A = this chain, B = another copy of it.
Amino acid sequence: MSASPWRATRATVNPGLFAAALLSGTCATAAPGPSHPTAGAIDILAQSAASDWRPVDAENTLYLELDSGRVVFELAPQFAPLHVANLKTLVREKYFDGLTIVRVADDYLTEWEDSTGKRPTGTAATMLPAEFSSPIRAWQPFTPLPDGDVYAPQVGFSGGFPVARDPKTHEQWLVHCYGMLGLGRDDAATSGFGGSPFVVIGNARNLDRNDTLLGHVVQGIELLSTLPRGPSPRGFFDKPAEHIPIRAMRVAADVPPRERTEVEVLRTDTATFKAYVEARRNPPKGWYLQPAGHVDVCGVRVASRRVAPEVAK
């Protein structure tokens, strides 16, 4: 009574199994994430070359430390330089240490902030020009998807991130797909300075171009997606006792090398990535009787994998 096309190829490890590979000191094999890769996509990752992957810069990596483990984010300064810099300032001032996750909205997002509003923001800015979108720049790689989008004239991937574009206005913006990191704000466009980060855990495309996205989860999304949902209408918890404690946030570069989580992300400007997308659009014959022939931008999850850390001398 097998119920899925994927069971046959269970051999490929996923992030949950990487710890073992890590402990043995070997380089982990490809990890499509715990999500919906087709069997074909998994095969492509398994056969990928080292050059199909890129390391994540420790200076652009954030850790969210929860009691349940570590969530790892890659930041996107190429899309939101001011907000990336300001969020890192807050992190380095230990602004988030001891704060809590105050909101988990089912099929939408989870968010953390200082619900007392009393924590000092130190040298970080508390108002910043919005970076909801940016001009398309010739030097930025872009791999378009062929099947269109309900929300934007064009969608694709740039540097590992889901991106929408409007060729008429020469504008681009990051897309609210699963696992994206954004910054909550009040009504003012300039108010999303970084004090209220959120992660997309569902369908949140209606937020596109309404807040600054500045990164994505590359390991540990399940620590956020499995959290109890907040009982209030938009997922806020009623009582502080229900909040989920945050031990700390850190810039990976500030963490001793042996305590880091080294991650590689699938490059999105390669033939391998194109084949990976195609395997989602048209999976190999077998279980699929009617391949979709299409894929939406949030239906492509950019793979990431843990690798053995360099041993400190």
Contact = CB atoms under 8 A, between A and B. Distances in A.
Contacts of A106: 33-35, 221-222, 225
A154 to B, nearest CB: 13
Contacts of A289: 132, 189, 209-210
Interface string A34-50: 11111000100000000
Chain A: number of interface residues, binned into ranges: 35 or more
Contact of A231 (B16, B147, B299): B16
Interface string A281-305: 0010011111010111011010000
A108 B186 contact: no
Nearest to A107: B35
Given A184-B4, A296-B150, A206 B105 contact: no
Given A106-B34, A178-B107, A196 B3 contact: yes
A154 B178 CA distance: 24
A34 B233 contact: yes
Contacts of A127: none
Contact of A107 (B36, B183, B186, B195): B36
A205 interface: yes
Contacts of A236: 7, 10
A97 interface: no
A159 interface: no
A16 to B, nearest CB: 4
A113 B3 CA distance: 8
Contact of A34 (B34, B132, B235): B235
Given A6-B234, A226-B228, A117 B14 contact: no
A35 B202 contact: yes
Interface of A: 1-4, 6-7, 9-14, 16-17, 32-38, 42, 103, 105-108, 111, 113-114, 117, 132, 147-151, 178-179, 183-187, 189, 192, 195-196, 198, 202-206, 208-210, 221-222, 225-236, 280, 283, 286-290, 292, 294-296, 298-299, 301
What 8 pairs between A and B have smallest CB-CB spacing? Answer: A3-B184, A3-B196, A16-B231, A6-B234, A34-B106, A36-B108, A150-B296, A35-B107
